[in-house]
């Protein structure tokens, strides 16, 4: 439990429809339904297109796009059947809105996720289900910390107008806006949280 909440673990492969349906049913049964879904599963790769294998292309699209589709569809079905609607937030990226070298498959998956978000928002609004996309810029994490200490990493930070990486806390309020009733009249929205990075070359 955290701040009065509760969490349950479930085994889930987002790219497998049967696994998703079983896990979502288990979550709904244990928690009394699903009101909010944060679609955050994702993988990335760094490679030029000519060095990208078919297997790696499939793996990234299966996780970042197909996985988001399967999980959102399962959650939306439960929300519709319960009759109370809900909020779905797909975690995309500024690389879905602009491109950078060596991350073509990832950028493609996130651009498609943004378009899928808009299409789902249009279709599911009648069920009181809101669907929005949060597009983080570069956020400091344990995974990328070493890179941003290199000269290449420091050069990338200098291209961000705020001249700094985002912190995880910078995503809290935007995510809460999209997930909560504070954003009740927002659907199909793409919200970038990037320190102004989209205003300069990625």
The span from the CA of 118 to the CA of 124, in Å, is: 10
Strands (E), 13-57: 36-39
Active site residue 106: yes
Interacting residues of 5 by C-beta distance below 8 A, sequence separation 6+: none
Distances (CA, A) of 5 to 2, 12, 127: 5, 21, 27
DSSP state, residue 136: E
Active site residue 93: yes
- DSSP secondary structure, 1-39, as one string: --TT---------TT-HHHHHHHHHHHHHHHTS-SEEEE
Interacting residues of 120 by C-beta distance below 8 A, sequence separation 6+: 72, 76, 88, 131
- The single residue of 66, 87, 109, 110 carrying the catalytic annotation is 110
Contact 109, 60 (CB under 8 A): yes
Closest CA to 82 of 39, 28, 24, 6: 28
- The single residue of 106, 154, 180, 185 carrying the catalytic annotation is 106
- The single residue of 66, 93, 109, 138 carrying the catalytic annotation is 93
Active site residue 180: no
The span from the CA of 61 to the CA of 132, in Å, is: 19
Helix (H), strand (E) at residue 90: strand 86-91
Q: Which residues are annotated as catalytic?
A: 93, 106, 110
């Amino acid at each position: 439990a955290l701040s009065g909440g509760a969490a349950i673990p479930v085994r889930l492969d987002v790219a497998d429809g049967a696994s998703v349906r079983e896990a979502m049913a288990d979550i709904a049964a244990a928690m009394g339904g699903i009101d909010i879904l944060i679609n955050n599963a994702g993988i990335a790769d760094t490679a030029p297109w000519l060095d990208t294998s078919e297997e790696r292309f499939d793996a990234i699209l299966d996780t970042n796009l197909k996985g988001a589709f399967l999980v959102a569809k399962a959650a939306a079905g439960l929300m519709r059947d319960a009759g109370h609607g809900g909020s779905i937030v797909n975690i995309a990226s500024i690389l879905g809105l602009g491109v950078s070298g060596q991350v073509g498959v990832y950028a493609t998956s996130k651009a498609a996720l943004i378009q899928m978000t808009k299409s789902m928002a249009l279709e599911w609004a009648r069920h009181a289900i809101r669907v929005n996309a949060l597009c983080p810029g570069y956020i400091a994490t344990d995974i990328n910390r070493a890179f941003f200490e290199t000269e290449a990493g420091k050069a990338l930070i200098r291209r961000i107008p705020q001249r700094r990486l985002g912190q995880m806390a910078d995503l809290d309020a935007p995510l809460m806006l999209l997930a909560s009733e504070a954003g009740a009249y927002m659907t199909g929205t793409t919200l970038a949280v990037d320190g102004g990075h989209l205003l300069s070359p990625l």
